[in-house]
Amino acid sequence: MTISCPPDANLADLDALSALPRDDAGPVFRAPWEAQAFAMALELHRRGVFSWPEWAATLAAEIAQARSTGEADDGSRYYERWLAALETLVARKQVVGTADLSRRVDEWDVAARATPHGRPVVLPRR
């Protein structure tokens, strides 16, 4: 898989993503949901929901908040912070209402737990 950096990202913005788990080929994921959260952020950026600098700042704030509460800074929970940043921006931009977001998070959790590994997660249609 080839991952391209968004065109409005600059080197300073990428410094905020220095914890991104990666190898020589690009980002690496421990679980399918991590790749899905990564892809959702890139797609929402592509659609103009938020700028790359805005994304980097929100993710950096989530990481800083986690560190301030004593969370280990070993990278094991990086995509949890990524997902929190995504939820923050979606709520801030009013892409979806808070109640709808909470309901959808619950639906996603139930669907993901019911989905065998390697199969696509299917959410209920509204």
- List, for residues 16-53, the tens digit of each pLDDT value: 455 677 777 777 788 888 888 888 898 999 999 999 99
53 in any annotated domain: yes
101 in any annotated domain: yes
What pLDDT, in 10s, does the model give residues 72-97?
877 788 889 999 999 899 889 988 87
pLDDT score of 68 = 93
120 in any annotated domain: no
Taking Cα atoms as reference points, which of 113, 111, 55 lies closest to residue 84? 55
What's the DSSP call for residue 102? H
What is the distance between the alpha carbons of residues 9 and 110, in angstroms, rounded to a whole number?
Answer: 34
As for how many domains the chain has, the answer is 1
What is the distance between the alpha carbons of residues 43 and 78, in angstroms, rounded to a whole number?
Answer: 19
pLDDT score of 91 = 86
23 in any annotated domain: no
Whole domain around residue 61: which residue ranges? Answer: 30-114
pTM: 0.66
Taking Cα atoms as reference points, which of 33, 21, 27, 118 lies closest to residue 83? 33
